[in-house]
Structure 1
Amino acid sequence: MFEKLGFKIGHSTNKEALTGCTVILCPPNTVGSCFVSGNAPGSRELELLSPDMTVSEVHAIVLTGGSAFGLACADGVMRFLEENGIGYQTPWAKIPIVPAAVVYDLNVGNPKIRPTAEDGYNACLNASVNFETGLVGAGTGTTVGKWAGFEYRMNGGVGFSIVQIDELIVSAVAVVNSVGDIIDEDGKIIAGAKANGKFIAEDKKFRFALQRKIQFGTNTTLVCVMTNAILSKLETYKISKRADDGISRAIRPAHTSYDGDIIFTLATCKVKTEFEILAELSSYVVAEAIRDAVRKSNP
């Protein structure tokens, strides 16, 4: 089903340093925007995605580990796109539009080794409609359930979800590195702060009792919604805001002062649809992608 959208996703993974990057390559004429709901984001070129900015086409999205250092990945993605003649046409050159966002994984592996431009380039070479999920790419060193202290964490990872109704296709890829626990559709914890084989939050009197151990700027959930719906740039922004509900459905607590959550929406503009239908489906696939990440990363 994903191949019908025209997007390709690739990873570069460093298993020894526990970091990596994930690149989403867009088909021609893809429109995109984003919504920042977290309070500690790390990013590049996000202002360009604001609905009031001139350029609406997006050529790739970079999701990367390495905190702000990992933004160097986007240089390699730009080089790959330029070599393939892809970019926004100016009188003298084509400029690839490559927004990027980061997760903080320096506390897990080797903090001196971060994704580079070469990793971004290699992720483009690896891009395919068939891609791995779990502890790969930007999700290699991600963790969840840190509200009770880093020592109680579980793996985060990269997750994916997709749904089709008639001709409309909506999918999401998520990189999960949250303060909060991950919960299923019934509110049951499936990954998070755990001690002695038991989820700490199951004993509600202990919830957030150890918040003082959380560090600012070291947690984030990144999501990219991809659809074939016909949308304007403003509408992709609105879908990003609505899709953000999916984070709240799957993470508890969500959007804390310690998280830098960002949701991108990319539309190939092929299929007419009702906005509210698309918004609800987007929220659904976001929540499912987050759950998929921790299920794959904590077998």
Structure 2
Amino acid sequence: MPLPDTAPGGCLTDVAGIAVGHAQRWGRGWRTGTTVALLPPSAVVGVDVRGGGPGTRETDLLHPQATLSTAHAICLTGGSAYGLAAADGVMAFLEERRVGFPVGTTAAEVVPLVPAAVIFDLGRGGSFANRPDAGFGHRAAAAARRRPVANGAVGAGTGARTRGLQGGVGTASQVLDGGVVVAALAVVNAAGSVLDPSTGMPWEPGDDRLRRPTATDRAALREVMDAAVPSLNTTIGIVATTAALSKAEAGKFAAVAHDGLARAVRPVHSLFDGDTIFGVATCRDPLGGTDEPPRARTTRLNAVLEAGAACFARACTNAVVRAQARGGDPAYLDLCGSAGARRV
């Protein structure tokens, strides 16, 4: 069945051709989920992995020296290393639709390429054994649409935690001069925080208009953040653009997005984190013409890289500000209701 047309909305799906879906479960021992991005055939994909404890699958495929430049989907999931099984479900979904790298003599003989990254959320719903499996990945892929998707404690962000607060999924996008679109999706499960405990406000602004919380709310926030016990964490995500990039440039796109992560989450890239960002270029929009000097393309490429970092920073903030409590950890607006978040 064809997917709906793309629609603007501060989401990764503002990059035409990308579809995003969530699957999650909470309650009765569960608090976890999976988020899947289905990519168009034109996609060029890179990755940048940092932090001391990453959990990934098929990321070697995305290194510049590897033969292929594409992937068919990206799977972001809870469940730590166990959760990598969700990517099996994404592969099954794609195989059913004959989407993948052709390896045989018939259209059905394909190998879907599905890089994946995980966050640690084991046991946060009450049962260590409840984590995403192939069914989560299949459901998230089946739910994928080319329209704005929910932010907050959904999908891979359902079991996310950041400095004692509920983490989540956040998205952001912007349009550059010439119509190039840049967007980001972040799953914030960081050991650090997107919030300045002294002000109760995000280090980096998101897409919601906030007021400075009252002194009472700030004190409640500080109490939760100060009591937080360091745990196994990670922020993972995707930056995407309609610009035409090489595989090496897609990797650089992902690498520079870590600058946005470092602006939004403090501290970051610790030994407790496994921060991983994928870079996706759908290659709709050339960055330079044949009659232009090389410097012109480099200038436009720099603008794409800078926008990727800015979008990823906003996505990180949106993930926490828009989160809903799913049991165990309070949400930001539960503690700081006086901040009064409203969409800008």
Mark yes or no: TM-score above 0.5. Answer: yes
Match for residue 188 of structure 2 among 171, 176, 200: 176
CA contact (8 A) 2:200 2:218 kept: no
CA contact (8 A) 2:165 2:224 kept: no
**Matched residue type, 2:313:** A
Question: How big is the shift at 1:189?
Answer: 4.3
Structure 1, unaligned stretches of length 5 or more?
146-152
Deviations 1:113-148 (A, max 9, x none): 111111111111111123211101100010101xxx
Deviations 1:174-209 (A, max 9, x none): 00000001047xx96449xx995142699xxx8xxx
Q: Could you say if the C-alpha distance between residues 4 and 100 of structure 1 is closer, same or farther in structure 2, counting changes exceeding 3 Å?
A: closer
Match for residue 159 of structure 2 among 135, 141, 151: 141
Question: How big is the shift at 1:89?
Answer: 1.6
Higher Rg: 2
Deviations 1:6-57 (A, max 9, x none): 1110011102201010000001121101000111000111111111100111
Matched, 1:235 2:235: no
Going by fraction, where is strand more abundant, 1 or 2? 1
CA distance in 2, matches of 1:154, 1:107: 16
Q: Could you say if the C-alpha distance between residues 189 and 181 of structure 1 is closer, same or farther in structure 2, counting changes exceeding 3 Å?
A: farther
CA distance in 1, matches of 2:201, 2:49: 25
What residue number does 2:133 align with? Answer: 116
Q: Could you say if the C-alpha distance between residues 158 and 276 of structure 1 is closer, same or farther in structure 2, counting changes exceeding 3 Å?
A: same
Question: How big is the shift at 1:88?
Answer: 1.0
Structure 1 vs Structure 2: percent identity of aligned residues? 39
Deviations 1:245-282 (A, max 9, x none): 01100000011111000010111001123111011000
Paired residues, what number? 280
Structure 2, unaligned stretches of length 5 or more?
1-7, 204-216, 288-299, 324-330, 334-344
Question: How big is the shift at 1:107?
Answer: 3.8
**Matched residue type, 2:114:** V
CA distance in 2, matches of 1:199, 1:75: 41
What residue number does 2:207 align with? Answer: none
What residue number does 1:148 align with? Answer: none
What residue number does 1:61 align with? Answer: 74
What residue number does 1:281 align with? Answer: 307
Deviations 1:210-264 (A, max 9, x none): 99x524xx10000101110100101001111111101100000011111000010
Q: Which runs of 4+ in 1 moved over 2 A?
A: 1-4, 187-191, 198-202
CA RMSD across the alignment = 2.3
